[in-house]
């Protein structure tokens, strides 16, 4: 039985995906109980699919290419490799363990807090490296109005550019 422990564990869709929520949005996000990332995504005013808060819940299935927005949790620096441990929320690992979700990711936007120093938005860097996609932007907490405007304009340009790429 695959565990939600690495980005490589599951190489297929869930065997019974009839219970999984689906999204046709080109933006997918995770927000924890504090909800900062969700508030930022709300301010963008774009359609977005939400990765379930409960790790035990059937995960979201993306239906088209998307940009992922996610916060970093628990990056602890000090020893080699320690910073990366636990930085990506388990719910996001479960979502990316679904091969179809992993194949549709095109970019990452990181949410975090600069108080965490070199671990600022570390989860976005980890996913970008694993999935070989760019980190498009980083913002703190629920983002400023400038962040909202920059991300909205950046996403328009990003998707225009993507649509011009050869298949």
Binding site for ligand FMN (CB under 6 A): 31-32, 34-38, 71-75, 87, 111-113, 116, 119-122, 141
- Closest residue to ligand FMN, Cβ-based? 112
Specify the length of the chain in residues. 167
CB of 143 to ligand FMN, least distance (A): 9
Of 40 and 158, nearer to ligand FMN (C-beta) is 40
Long-range contact list for 145-149, CB < 8 A, 24+ apart?
Answer: 145/43, 147/40, 148/40, 148/43, 148/44
Least separation in angstroms between residue 41's CB and ligand FMN is 9
**The pair of three-digit structure tokens given for residue 114, joined into one six-digit string:** 């600069």
Q: What's the closest the beta carbon of residue 37 comes to ligand FMN, in angstroms? A: 3
Distance in Å, CB of 147 to ligand FMN, minimum: 12
Report the C-alpha gap between 74 and 68 in whole angstroms: 19
Question: Would you say 87 or 127 has its CB closer to ligand FMN?
Answer: 87
How far are the Cα atoms of 9, 44, 132, 161 from residue 154, in angstroms, in the given order?
A: 32, 12, 19, 10
Closest CB to ligand FMN among residues 57, 141: 141
Q: Closest Cα to residue 94, out of 8, 21, 157?
A: 8
């Amino acid at each position: 039985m695959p565990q939600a422990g690495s980005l490589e564990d599951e190489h297929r869709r869930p065997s019974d995906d009839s219970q999984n929520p689906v999204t046709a949005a080109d933006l997918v996000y995770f927000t924890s109980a504090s909800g900062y990332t969700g508030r930022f995504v709300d301010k963008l005013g774009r359609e977005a699919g939400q990765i379930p808060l409960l790790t035990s819940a059937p995960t979201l299935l993306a239906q088209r290419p998307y940009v992922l927005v996610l916060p970093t949790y628990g990056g602890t620096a000090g020893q080699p490799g320690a910073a990366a441990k636990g930085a990506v929320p388990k719910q996001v690992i479960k979502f990316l363990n679904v091969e179809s979700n992993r194949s549709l990711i095109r970019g990452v936007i990181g949410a975090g807090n600069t108080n965490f120093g070199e671990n600022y938005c570390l989860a976005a860097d980890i996913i970008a490296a694993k999935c070989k996609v760019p980190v498009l932007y980083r913002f703190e907490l629920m983002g400023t109005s400038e962040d909202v405007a920059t991300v909205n304009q950046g996403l328009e340009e990003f998707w225009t550019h993507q649509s011009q790429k050869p298949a």
